[in-house]
Chains A and B, each alone.
Chain A
Amino acid sequence: MLASLCAACGDNTPTSPTSTTPSRATERFDDIINVSESKFFAFSVGSNGTTSINLASLSPIDRPGTIVATLEIGWGKTVKDDAGTVIGCTLSRVVQTTPALAAQINDTLPPASDYCANIADVDRVTGLRGPANFSIRVTHP
C-alpha cells in the first residue's frame, strides 16, 4: 500500500495540451444551376472526422448581388457505369437551405473516395426563377 501511495505523489510537471486536429481540405464547386436542375461533384474523405458542406453563394448571372431562393444540398455516394465513369449521385442526406457563409451540413463520414455533393432546385415556390451562379464549399479531413 505504501508503494502505491508513494507512486501517487508523482511528477508535478504540467502537461501541455496537444493538438489532435487532423489536416482538412476545402474544395470549391462553382457552376451555374438552372430552374429544376441538379448538379453533383465528387470528392474524397481521407480520414475520420467531420465533413462540412456549405452552399455559400447564389448569385445572378447578369448583375452583382445575391438571389434569395431555397435550394437542396446534400451528400451521397457516386454511381458508376460499367466503364467506371461516374454517372450519378445516390443521396444519403439532404437539407433545404438558403445560402450562408457557415456550413449547413456537418456530418461524420468514414474515409472513402466515392462521395458526391449535390445541389438541386426542387421547390417551385421558394426555388429559382432563373439560372444562377452557385458556389459550394466541401471541407473534409
Chain B
Amino acid sequence: MTRPGFGIRGSGFARHALMNAATWLVIALFATGCGDDKTSTAPSNTSTATSENWSGVVAPGGQSSRSFTVNASGTIAVTLTAAGATLGLGVGLPRVTGGGCRLGVSVDASAASSPQISTAADSGQYCVQVYDLGTLRDPVGFALKIDHP
C-alpha cells in the first residue's frame, strides 16, 4: 500500500532513516564550509643568545670585573680565551655599592677555547670577575667571552 503524499514505500522507520541521512549531509556540507584557519599565530620568544667579549689586566693581588644582563633563564658560559697566567675566574652578582662581584661560581682557569664556567642562571644582573690567585708578580692581560641568554 502506498501512503498518500509519499512516494516512498515503506515504514516510519525508513522515513526516519532518510531524515537522518539528510541531516548528516547538511552537517557535512557545513563542516567543509568552515574555512582553513591556517593563519594561526604562534607565541613569540623574544629571548636571544648574546655573546660578549671583554679584555683587561689583573694586577698582583687585584681583580677586575664587568657586569652584564641575562634577559631570560638559561646558561651562562664564560670562556677565558687568553691569559698570561692561571687566574681566578668567577660569575656572581654585582655589588650593590662599591663595584666588584659577589661570586656564586668560581674556578681556577687557564686560557682555553671551551668554557671554564657553564652554569644555569635566572634572568637578572650578573658580573664576571677575573682575579689574582696570589701567584702574580706582574700585571697580566686576559681576554674572555661571555655567552648568555
Residue numbers of A with Cβ under 8 A of B are 1-2, 5-6, 8-9, 12, 14-17, 26, 28, 30, 52, 54, 56-59, 63-66, 99-103, 133, 135, 137, 139
B12 lies within 8 A of chain A by Cβ: no
Minimum CB–CB distance from B89 to chain A (whole Å) comes to 10
> Which residue of B is nearest A65, CB measured?
B106
Given contacts A30-B102, A54-B122, A100-B104, A12 and B41 within 8 Å (CB-CB): no
Most B CB within 10 A of own CB, among A1, A5, A56, A100: A56
In whole angstroms, how far apart are the Cα atoms of A98 and B91 in the complex?
15
The answer to whether B33 touches A101, judged by C-beta atoms less than 8 angstroms apart, is no
Q: How far is the CA of A55 from the CA of B26 in the complex (A)?
A: 65
* Chain B residues positioned under 8 Å from A56 (CB to CB): 92-93, 102, 104
Given contacts A56-B93, A57-B104, A135-B102, is CB(A12)–CB(B119) below 8 Å? no
Which of A26, A52, A102 sits near B121, CB closer than 8 Å?
Answer: A102
With the chains together, A56 CA to B91 CA distance in Å?
10
Complex contact A14–B104 (CB within 8 A): no
Are A12 and B129 in touch, CB under 8 angstroms? Answer: no
- Per-residue contact bits, chain B 18-53, to A (CB 8 Å; 1 contact, 0 not): 000001001100100111010111011000000000
Give the residues in chain A near B8, CB-CB below 8 Å: none
Q: A12-B35, A100-B120 are in contact. Are A17 and B43 (CB under 8 A)?
A: yes
Residues of chain B at the chain A interface (Cβ within 8 Å): 23, 26-27, 30, 33-35, 37, 39-41, 43-44, 63, 73, 76, 88, 90-93, 95-96, 101-106, 119-122, 124, 126, 129, 131-132, 134
5 A-B pairs (CB sep. < 8 Å): A9-B30, A57-B102, A64-B129, A65-B106, A137-B124
- On chain B, the residues within 8 Å of A135 by CB distance are 92-93, 102, 104
Pairwise interchain contact A101-B121, C-beta atoms closer than 8 A: yes
Q: Is the CB–CB distance between A64 and B103 below 8 Å?
A: yes
Q: Closest approach, in angstroms, between the C-beta of A127 and any C-beta of chain B?
A: 17
